[in-house]
Amino acid sequence: MHFKLLSNADMKAIDKLKEFHGGANHIGSTIKEMRVFETRKKILAEKGYGKMIEDAEQLVKKFAKAGDYEKENNISYNDNFGVATAQVSGWQGAPVTHHAMKRIALSASTNQPCFVPSEFISVVALTDNYVYNGDLMATLTMAENIMKGSKFCSTNLIGIPQPEKRFVELEKLTGKKFVRADAGNGLSNLILKNQGTFFGNFGGIEVANDNHLIYLDGITRTALATGGDFFLNPSWSTIVAICYYGRDIPNLHIKISMLLATQNLMQFRILLNIMKEYLRDDMTSPLYEINIGNGVSPENFIQCAKELKESGIKGVSLAAHIYINPDLGVADFNWTEDMHKVLESGTDMTYKYESDGTAREMDTMATYFLSEDERNANAEKIGDVIFYKALQASKDGRDMMKKGIKVFFGGSSY
């Protein structure tokens, strides 16, 4: 890199934050411990989620199996095609996820059964209540331990209110200043100056000054408390910061959102350069997945995959939206045909559903930003939305399987 991305002072502040949380070995080992099913079950029983988890364990036994579909339809796979990994967004907390599981179980006896996606995305702000009261852990337990999803991505919006004493502590620790406002009741929040409208920056895409440290603190606290190990990344500065911070924490991962606008090969190469600067010895990076922007052609998606392979960087997957929420982008967005072009070229991809393409009630970006009370009050409606996304991912997956394209679903679908 011609100019260093992080100064010595930047790295010193990041190092101090990591030491404050116990250091790389402690963070990594704690994440591992907090992902153990029995550990989570014990904690959740104490927090009032025991019955929900018990019910989820029974529901998953009723799920349809992708393996049965393969046998019944004599599916065989073409090794010249790429591999598709199913991903569904919108798992908005425990009540929502639990209801979606009920719908998935009921679908098993229909002619269009719903399989579990391999990867889950949640856009719930990491408030202290959500992180520490059991809601997030219960969601992770259902998704990862029971439905056996390979990844569950949480979203850290740095503009949320947090205890003022936390900001004071982090300022003293790092020597940095965090410009914030009094939110009442002992809470403060970072002042986000680009939020001209409600969706001006989604409370996180603006990461000014040294606010990347707030992002790192948030995902670390969440990882230590819940075992969550995969987080949506909002900004170029936080990408640089986590690539440095997580270089010695092999089980801490981030995903690049398409909202970062990786819409072309030039921006993709910027990401490759950032990763290359802080690669681990095994050529992996904390960056696990890049969601290529909605404007990218299938040809450029394929080229991104080629350049990623040529870079020598390992363990990074590329994703694309197949359908998007009606308030996220252009109407009638549908990347299905392009998805087939990518996969039939021999390129692997993660195929993601922000929507099932029907613009049903609560299938919106706005739903992601409901308050906790509103989210729980609408848990069944939001859970239905997730079910229909997962159902569309299953239908499209079956179509690909018939073509000879290998599709990965969640472990409970096998």
Q: According to the model, what pLDDT value does residue 330 have?
A: 86
Counted residue by residue, the chain has a size of 414
Helices (H) and strands (E) in the chain, counts: 16, 12
Residues of the chain with pLDDT under 70: 195-204, 258-261
Buried b or exposed e, range 140-165, using 16+ CB within 10 angstroms:
bbbbbbbbbbbbbbbbbbbbbbbebe
Alpha helices in 157-264 (DSSP H): 164-174, 212-226, 236-245
Token pair in block for residue 43: 């904690």
Q: pTM for the whole thing?
A: 0.95
Beta strands in 224-380 (DSSP E): 230-233, 253-256, 287-291, 317-323, 349-353
- Amino acid, res. 280: R
pLDDT digits (tens, 9 = 90+) for 324-337: 988 877 888 999 99
pLDDT digits (tens, 9 = 90+) for 131-187: 999 999 999 999 999 999 999 999 998 989 999 999 999 999 999 999 999 999 999
Can you list the domains of the chain with their CATH numbers?
8-413 (3.20.20)
Task: Look at residues 221, 229, 222, 276 and name the one whose alpha carbon lies nearest to residue 249.
Answer: 229
